[in-house]
Structure 1
Amino acid sequence: MFRKVLVTAAMLAAFGHAYAAVDVNTANEDALRGIKGIGPSKAKAILDERNAHGPFKDAADLGKRVKGMGGHTIERLQAEGLAIGPAGAAASTQVAAAATGKEPAATAAAGAAQKGAAAVAVKK
């Protein structure tokens, strides 16, 4: 019984953490500052670098391009909910879809394909 409660609590925590992810490539200053460990100056440095040289490819790219963002710092920020790179982009798309109640076309097509239905893209 205790094991079931523990597993349920862990699943709920993981589920909540997945929807709390902040993508470094799309977040504004307020969203970045919402991550524990990122203050106003670090958020500004991230945004300035992203605006000057484009999106971050991965954690190593973020570490190289933003002063003061070493490997351990980035790992800690990722544990706090910072998402970086392609995986982060997919997570933020799902979060945005959940928040607006709309499903992105790619996600809808993938879901339809998994169910065995034909997917048709409709342009609005």
Structure 2
Amino acid sequence: MKLSMKGLLAALLFSTGIGIASSGMAQDIAPININSADPELLDELPGIGPSRAEAIIEEREANGNFKSADDLTRVSGIGPATVDRMRDQVKFEE
């Protein structure tokens, strides 16, 4: 099978692009402050959809700010596995 130089270059560029796109993009994003984020921002976290984002805000308003990722288990539907998936993407400033 004979590859043209143009085809080889296209394949190389394509595979490089895939590598860049899948190389831990979540780590390149600044952590989200759970204690001040709005529902749209919270919805970007892994395992958090619109209803859990609203539940986080309701829990925060009813019982005070979260102090650590583990505090997120106070929210119905958020367990340790969900917390572990987002642990490096959140922060807890007052």
The aligned counterpart of 1:93 is: none
How far off is 1:71 after superposition? 1.2
> Aligned pair 1:82/2:90, yes or no?
yes
Deviations 1:34-72 (A, max 9, x none): 223210110010000001111001122221x21121111
Higher relative contact order (CA 8 A, sep 6+): 2
Residue 40 in structure 1 maps to residue 50 in structure 2: yes
Aligned equivalent of 1:69, options 75, 78, 89: 78
Which protein has the bigger helix share?
A: 1
- Amino acid of the residue matched to residue 77 of structure 2? G
C-alpha distance in 1, partners of 2:90/2:79? 14
Q: How many residues align?
A: 73
CA distance in 2, matches of 1:22, 1:82: 5
Normalising by structure 1, we get a TM-score of: 0.49
Superposed CA RMSD = 2.7
Offset, 1:78 = 2.1
Which residues of structure 1 form unaligned runs of 5+?
1-8, 91-124
In structure 2, the residue matched to 1:114 is none
| Aligned counterpart, 2:3 | none
Cα distance, 1:20 vs. partner?
Answer: 2.5
Alpha-carbon distance between aligned partners in 1 of 2:28 and 2:67, rounded to the nearest angstrom: 20
Amino acid at match of 1:82: V
In the alignment, is the contact (CA less than 8 A) between 2:69 and 2:90 conserved in 1?
no
Measure the CA separation in 2 of the matches of 1:28 and 1:38.
13
Structure 1 segments (4+ residues) deviating >4 Å: none
Instruction: Give the alignment of 1:1-124 within 5 angstroms.
Output: 17=27, 19-63=29-73, 65-79=74-88, 81-83=89-91, 85=92, 89=93
Q: Identify unmatched segments of 5+ residues in structure 2.
A: 1-19
